[in-house]
Chains A and B, each alone.
Chain A
Amino acid sequence: MPDTITLQVARYRPDADAAPTTQEYVVPLREEWAVLDGLNYIKDRLDGTLSFRWSCRMGICGSCGMTVNGNPVLTCGTFLTDYAPGPIRIEPLANFPVVRDLVVEIEDFLRKLPAVKPWLVREDEQGVDDVEFLQTPAQLAEYQQYSMCINCMLCYAACPVYALEPDFLGPAAIALAQRYNLDSRDQGAHQRLDLLATAQGVWACTYVGECTSACPKGVDPAGAIQRYKLTAATRTLRSVLMPWAAR
């Protein structure tokens, strides 16, 4: 195994560049080093001007998502040795405006996320002391998979629908809406329906399935969206056939 590897890193300095460029750095190739360790080596030893986001280094914070050799990945969980002898191409997440180097603008996602009300909606809001919501393991299993989402936005980078239709609510926001819709303690499904069952919601999805392939936490957003399509279609059909029935 060679003891170094070349990283081809996308650079974009908004005050100097009209478009991103590529800069090459040679970093030590160590078995225990993730791509993020290589970037931190650049930042600490070679070029302090390189900008990128990271925090936890353990696949929980969802900050260090980047495009590595064309694939959206968490750089803390992607190892240099898997790409040896290199070179490795490191670019910002696709489908997002680039603020600087490997840092992308995430305002669009931050605006869409609260729109699906990703919290427990209750019609009978009671104080913590007055009520206790018990849940069985089976009820937990209904939504647990979707609760693993860490908002890393790799699914948005993988989704060609989001690239072509920026108004699309997107995989993670819909999966998180389903996380609460399927929670036995939640009563907000009908509030989320008006946003989810629209042309910008689940119906924009054409099931490419790449969001699920890209997800580092096994959330399966594509599955969540297809499942909600069936729910939305059933509800619409029911409201047409039985307009007198409650939603």
Chain B
Amino acid sequence: MSELTRESPAQGAHPLPAGPYRPRTSVFWWVRRRSYLLFVLRELSCVFVAWFVVYLLLLVAAVHRGNDAYQGFLQWSGQPGMLVLNLVALAFVVLHAITWFNLAPKAMVVRLHGRRLPSRIVAAGHFTAWLVVSALVAWLVVG
């Protein structure tokens, strides 16, 4: 791996203690492969999930404090910095949700009439439920 050097063999004057070579894991191991990078991004997404929870609580607190506080919250949320942060957070939360639902058929074995349902069907069920709940929330907010 990257730990290996490409120099000629080091012929030391002193005899080296014979023993196995233990390669060290680089701090930047996660940039070495695309799948590792995607994994670290997915892990990072939980920070943004937490941010949305905090954001929702701030919204609820503002609504509780009355109209002025609510208007203030909307103004604060409309600032360019907040919009960018929330757009980035949304992208990470979508990544989080998609990877989570794709994982579901790995963990769940669903049987129907004694036959194991294909992974695609289990994943599709989760995505459908997600869409239905999202549509319901959108209808509650907009409708």
Give the number of chain A interface residues (Cβ < 8 Å): 39
Q: Which residues of A contact B (CB under 8 A)?
A: 10-22, 67, 70, 91, 94-95, 97-99, 105, 138, 160, 163-164, 206-210, 213, 220, 222-223, 226-227, 229-230
Return chain B residues, CB-CB under 8 Å to A210: 33, 35-36
Which residue of chain A has its CB nearest to the CB of B30? A160
Complexed CA–CA distance, A160 and B39 (Å): 10
User: How far, in whole Å, are A160 and B31 apart by their CA atoms in the complex?
Assistant: 12
> How many B residues, CB 8 Å from partner?
34
- Which of A11, A160, A213 has the most chain B CB atoms closer than 10 A to its own CB? A160
Interface of B is mostly: loop
- Cross-interface CB contact of B18 among A10, A11, A14, A67, cutoff 8 Å: A14
Contact of A222 among B7, B16, B106 (CB under 8 A): B106
Asked whether any CB of chain A lies closer than 8 Å to the CB of B12, the reply is yes
Choose among A67, A160, A208, A226 the residue that contacts B106 (Cβ–Cβ < 8 A). Answer: A226
Question: In the complex, which residue of chain B has the Cβ closest to the Cβ of A10?
Answer: B4
**Once bound together, how far apart are the Cα atoms of A208 and B106, in whole Å?**
13
**B35 — which chain A residues lie within 8 A by C-beta?**
208-210, 213
Nearest-neighbour CB distance to chain A for B132, whole angstroms, equals 23
Pairwise interchain contact A229-B9, C-beta atoms closer than 8 A:
no
Known contacts: A14-B18, A15-B18, A105-B20. The answer to whether A208 contacts B10 by CB under 8 A is no
